Amino acid sequence: MRRLPSTNPSNRASRRYFLQSIGALGLAGVFRPTQSDSAVGADFCTTGDGKATTLFIPGDSGYLGRLALRGKPLTLIASAVGALPPGIVHGPIAYRAQHKGRDYINPTLVVRRGERVQIELVNRLDKPTIAHWHGLAVDTHNDGAGMNLVAPGESYAYDFAATDRGALYWYHPHPHGETARQMYNGLYGAIALEDDDEDSLRKALDLVPGRSEIALVMQDRKADSSYLPSAADLMHGFFGDELYVNGTRCPYLDVASRVYRLRILNACNARTLRLALRGSASARIPFIVIGNDGGLLPAPQRAEQAFVATAERLDILVDLRDAPVGETLVLESLAFDPMHTETTGATATEHAAHDHGSAWPEGIARALLQLRVREHVVYDRHIPSSFSSVVPTDTSNARERPFRLGFNKGRWRINDRVFVMGETPIEVARDSTEIWLLRNYHTSMPHAMHLHGFHFEILERETSPDFVHAHAIDERGRLAADLGRKDTVLVWPGERRDSVRNAVFRPANVRVPLPQSRARGWRHDAWRESCVILTL
């Protein structure tokens, strides 16, 4: 496997050895602040009326409520949103459900690994739709990739087994040409898939969903809440003016001196977030990355920041045992170069201001959530040194397949081809292992690439931008959240140096077993690899 020279070996080595030196067993007292780096933060709640609001926490019903399926059938209705809790900002439509006498809006579906999932999607919208179970390993019929659509007034039956690892997955519409509009207007929800590893973590750290384990669904929206994309939005993605967490603007959460788990879903149409924690006097507060799209990592990884692209999930622990009562932490998105270099010759200044008419251009710092320490409690739990067993895939006989991400003649392309429904440009042998080499050219933009139906491993990142590469944790250029399994990966444009280079990644070591139980006896199954920056 050929490797390009690393961009900044001294930064890579020093960062790697620092992270290794703290060790999995040295995570106590992680609250200790560090000096802020050059990434710029932002003041909290500086727009609108400037008033902070208590973060909405989903309960066992209502908006984003936790709905345990327990193998029972469920009817999910795509319709007008109906009545929302006071202060919640949401679009005009939603997924609605009734279960055991309780009403739900965009329910968080709680599923046990191995359970049967039976869902009937009823379309009461005025346009076709379909629901995609993002990250779940299901066959084409159940995937909801847009090849099957539900007409207005019709319904569609899903029936599959939840065989994946415990993790935070999610569901959203996927009708070609309407995905971005329907999702922005309110069709999205989380899936909490639980297994023995999840049980062990919760027991070890006394984590309770809704109390010390908090799901954070993040979406940016325009001030008038309308979806009226410009020509630039249709090309590059739709950006909102404000970010809402669980539908809450300028949210804060009262916390105690203990460990909290934050399970973050980036449900923005196109915005990438550079998440970090800041304490008093702008000191950076490290956190612990414990999981991502595909579930818990093998071991905890200390980090000071993490990029989370559209559709990605980040699972972190925030250790507040040493935080004094009265301390306020801010979860923020740091400033960064969004690298919109689609136009040859674009300068850093030009693409840094690539705002598409948004009052909050991508890459501009924004404070997202306050954590206010209000109570001191006795908490003697210890963060485990390991969470889960993730066996690396054997790549000794893997075929390497290149993918070139580019922009030409006003359209995004993979291997110089545009998407055409019904075409199958890639055929992969059943039960094979392939290494997918994703190359994103320098005249491009960051792409969040999602593979339907499977998880993959990120093998390495090469020629990453310096502000990304500085946070690599191993000699292969991987970030803390790259470990374990993934279903979505952010691929950056090539680094601009004295000579132009292509950004070369080997992020997707994709194992593609299609057992007969999943393929339902079909000879072939069709899958999609797509960029999840929603533009249509």
For residue range 410-434, list pLDDT tens digits in order.
777 787 777 777 777 888 888 888 8
pLDDT at site 169: 98
Percent of the chain with pLDDT over 90: 58
Contact, 187 vs 219, CB < 8 A?
Answer: no
pLDDT at site 27: 53
The dihedrals phi and psi of 138, each to the nearest 5 degrees, come to: -135, 165
Confidence of residue 533 (pLDDT cuts 50, 70, 90): very low
The dihedrals phi and psi of 233, each to the nearest 5 degrees, come to: -60, -40
298 and 213 housed in the same domain: yes
In a domain? residue 3: no
Confidence of residue 518 (pLDDT cuts 50, 70, 90): very low
In degrees, to the nearest 5, what angle opens at C-alpha 364 toward C-alphas 285 and 185?
105
The dihedral region occupied by 57, where left means phi > 0, alpha psi between -120 and 50, and beta the remainder, is: beta
Confidence of residue 275 (pLDDT cuts 50, 70, 90): very high
Which residue, of 306, 341, 375, is where some domain finishes?
A: 375
Three-state SS for 406? strand
Contact, 484 vs 381, CB < 8 A?
Answer: no
257 and 326 housed in the same domain: yes
- What separation in angstroms does the CA of 132 have from each of 102, 129, 136? 24, 10, 9
210 and 191 housed in the same domain: no
Question: Which uninterrupted H or E stretch holds 143?
Answer: helix 140-143
In a domain? residue 494: yes
pLDDT at site 30: 63
Q: Per-residue pLDDT for 474 more than 90?
A: yes
Q: Which amino acid is at 91?
A: G
43 and 64 housed in the same domain: no
The dihedral through the CA atoms of 25, 214, 484, 184 has a sign that is: negative
Confidence of residue 228 (pLDDT cuts 50, 70, 90): confident
Does 249 or 396 have the greater pLDDT score? 249
In a domain? residue 391: no
Which residue, of 197, 215, 235, is where some domain finishes?
A: 197
pLDDT at site 15: 38
In a domain? residue 162: yes
pLDDT at site 380: 95
Q: What is the CATH number of the domain that holds 278?
A: 2.60.40.420
Q: What would the two tokens of residue 64 be?
A: 């984003």
Count CA atoms closer than 13 A to 67's CA, side-chain side. 32
In a domain? residue 383: no
SS (H, E, C) 162-209: CCCCCEEEEEEECCCCCHHHHHHCCCCEEEEEECHHHHHHHHHHCCCE
In a domain? residue 303: yes
- Report the mean per-residue pLDDT for the chain: 83
- What separation in angstroms does the CA of 371 have from each of 4, 42, 290, 367? 42, 15, 19, 11
426 and 498 housed in the same domain: yes
361 and 430 housed in the same domain: no
Confidence of residue 33 (pLDDT cuts 50, 70, 90): low
Contact, 57 vs 214, CB < 8 A?
Answer: yes
Q: What would the two tokens of residue 446 be?
A: 């960051």
Three-state SS for 377? coil
Percent of the chain with pLDDT over 70: 79
In a domain? residue 174: yes
Give the length of the chain: 536
473 and 413 housed in the same domain: yes
In a domain? residue 447: yes
- What separation in angstroms does the CA of 345 have from each of 340, 373, 492, 501? 11, 48, 17, 14
Contact, 168 vs 215, CB < 8 A?
Answer: yes
Which residue, of 197, 226, 244, is where some domain finishes?
A: 197
213 and 359 housed in the same domain: yes
Q: For tokens 């709640």, name the residue.
A: 45
65 and 127 housed in the same domain: yes
46 and 99 housed in the same domain: no
**Structural domain boundaries enclosing 90:** 53-197
Q: For tokens 């990304």, name the residue.
A: 468
Query: Rounded distance, CA 11 to CA 14, Å?
Result: 5
Find, among 113, 107, 108, the residue nearest to 136 by Cα: 113
179 and 221 housed in the same domain: no
Query: Rounded distance, CA 497 to CA 495, Å?
Result: 6
The average pLDDT across 180-192 equals: 96
Report the number of distinct structural domains present in the chain. 3
Find, among 295, 290, 288, the residue nearest to 318 by Cα: 288
137 and 40 housed in the same domain: no
pLDDT at site 31: 65
